[in-house]
Every structure is written in structure tokens, then in C-alpha cells.
Structure 1
Amino acid sequence: MKDKIEKGDIVVINKSGKYDNQVGEVSGVDYNIFFVKIVIVKLGNQEETFEEKDLQLKTKKPSLEEVVASIDKILVQVEQVTNLPIKEKIELPNRLKYLKLDIPKLDKQLIKKNFNVIDEIFAATRKADSSASFWQEIDPNLEKISWWIRTSL
């Protein structure tokens, strides 16, 4: 059975022509008057519409469980970040824990606020030490959380 394509998924276009084999992110799903699923795909700076049959699912957007697991993985890595100032060393784990509690509630404002603070702390920390090994674990998990927030709220 073919996976259902939903908003936030990454798809490959399998329709010969201008967009053949391009990869994009689904920004919306609708149905036409004949109940055919129409998928709006963001390709760079533009959006195009395709029938679902013209698309192949490449990557599903992260589930709620995957996002919570990513937060847990980042929490483990935060312990290895040595160059955090005292204030951020306390605030970062707390913000991650709050984010973990807010995500199941789908509280858009709280989730975005906490994630933005977390992202700012990591950005400042990265300037001080961008070569540390913990970034290999933090970056993909941070991206997964960001992707879920962008496509779920």
C-alpha cells in the first residue's frame, strides 16, 4: 500500500516535463471536483500543483513521537557542550524540556517561542565552537524539530 502524501512531506515529481525528478515539500493538499487528490508542492520559490499519482513520497514529515525523541537526543548532547555560559547551561535544558511538554499540546506560540530561544542559544554556541562532535547529533535532530514545527502548526 502506498503511503498517503500529506503536508510537510518531501516528494519527487514523477511527471515528464518541466518538473520531472525535482524534489519539493508538500505545502498543501486539496481535492478537485472529481475528488482527485491535488497536491501543492513548493519547488524553490514557487508552488506548483500536481495530482497525487504524479508524485513519489521521498520522506515523511516527522511524527510527534520522532520530534519528542529528537528533543531527548539533544538533551543528552547538551551535557557535552562545554562552552555554554552559566545562564544558558541552565536555560537550554529547561527550554528543551518545556518544548517537549508543549509539543503534544500543540500550543503554537509557546512552541515557537521556546524553539526560537533554543535556536538562538545554539547559534551563539556554534560561533564559539562549530567543530565539536556533538553538532553531528544536535543538527539533524534540531532540523527534524524545525521541520515538524514549520509543517504542523
Structure 2
Amino acid sequence: MNNRIEKGDIVVINKSGKYHQQVGEASEVDYNIFFVKIVLVKLGNQEEAFEEKNLKLKTKKPTLQEIIVSIDKIIEQVDRIHHLPTKEKVELPNRLKYLKLDILKLDKQLIQKNFDSIDKILAETRETDSSASFWQEIDPNLDKISWWIRTSL
């Protein structure tokens, strides 16, 4: 695993003091005038700058390949959603396939538009039956895709 901290990674603050052991997301990476890597970490509603040596990598941002796998896993689960209206039963798998193509092209506007539509369809569907077992597969993959979109575009 690459232990270098990059934008979008989840980190733990190792520096003693006010933020010791807090978990945050790297929102920006830069270097100071002494070529020391400085990471801007989002901690709730605020951001703080830390030297990379004061941070410990907790979770790497998902890779492009992991996102494609996550989309495929959601596509597999869509067939298990029996109460999807006919229109959405056709639209949801198509939008997921388009999202996969858009991600490979890194087309920011289309990625966001398709993801928002997918998220909306799934949110409406969840209201009908939130206890079904397929949500255990869909939700973490949807979160992973959302994380990648938020930190990559």
C-alpha cells in the first residue's frame, strides 16, 4: 500500500495537543518553502495544516479500479430490488453503466449528473424497503463512489 498521504485520504493526527488522535480527511497537499509536505486536514467544520510526519494514514482514497468494481457490485444488486418501478428498473442499470464510462473519461459534469440521479433513485427506493439485505452491499459501494467523486473532481 502506498503510505504517502494524498488528497481524499483519511488520516489520524499523531501530533500531541489539541487535535491528537482525531480523524480527518486530507483536503489539500502542498509543500512549504523548506520542501516539507504540508497536508490540510478537514476536521468537521474546520481545516488545519499539519506536516505529513504528524499524520498517520488510516484509509486510502478509493482508486479508479475500486470505483469501477463498486459500480459493478451495485449493478448486480439492482436485479434484487423487486419493488423498483419499471422506468427505474431500466434507468438505474443504464445510469450505472454510463457512470462507469463517464468515470473512465473523467467527465466531471456527466459523472456528477449521473451519480445524483442514481443516488436519488436509490434514496426513493430505500424509503419503500430499507431493511432488504441488498442495501448492505449497495450502501458502502455508493459511499465509496461518492467519496471518490468528491475528492477526485
Rounded to whole Å, the distance in 1 between the matches of 2:86 and 2:130 is 19
Rounded to whole Å, the distance in 2 between the matches of 1:105 and 1:43 is 31
Between the two proteins, the alignment pairs up a number of residues equal to: 153
Provide runs of 4+ in structure 1 moved above 3 Å.
none
Q: Percent identity?
A: 77
Aligned to 1:15: 15
Structure 1: which 5+ runs fail to align? none
Rounded to whole Å, the distance in 2 between the matches of 1:61 and 1:5 is 10
The Cα of 1:104 is off from its aligned counterpart by 1.2
Describe how 1:1-153 pairs up with structure 2 within 5 A.
3-153=3-153
Rounded to whole Å, the distance in 2 between the matches of 1:82 and 1:14 is 47
Rounded to whole Å, the distance in 2 between the matches of 1:83 and 1:61 is 33
Q: Over residues 24-43 of structure 1, what are the superposed CA-to-partner deviations in whole Å (9 max), with x where a residue is unaligned? A: 00000010000000000000
Rounded to whole Å, the distance in 2 between the matches of 1:42 and 1:90 is 39
Structure 2: which 5+ runs fail to align? none
Q: Over residues 85-130 of structure 1, what are the superposed CA-to-partner deviations in whole Å (9 max), with x where a residue is unaligned? A: 0100000000000001110111000000000000000000000000
Rounded to whole Å, the distance in 2 between the matches of 1:71 and 1:81 is 16
Rounded to whole Å, the distance in 1 between the matches of 2:137 and 2:122 is 13
The Cα of 1:2 is off from its aligned counterpart by 6.5
The Cα of 1:73 is off from its aligned counterpart by 0.3
Amino acid in the other structure paired with 2:139? D
Residue 112 of structure 2: SS of its match in structure 1?
helix
The TM-score with structure 2 as length reference comes to 0.99
Rounded to whole Å, the distance in 2 between the matches of 1:2 and 1:76 is 30
Residue 24 of structure 1: SS of its match in structure 2?
strand
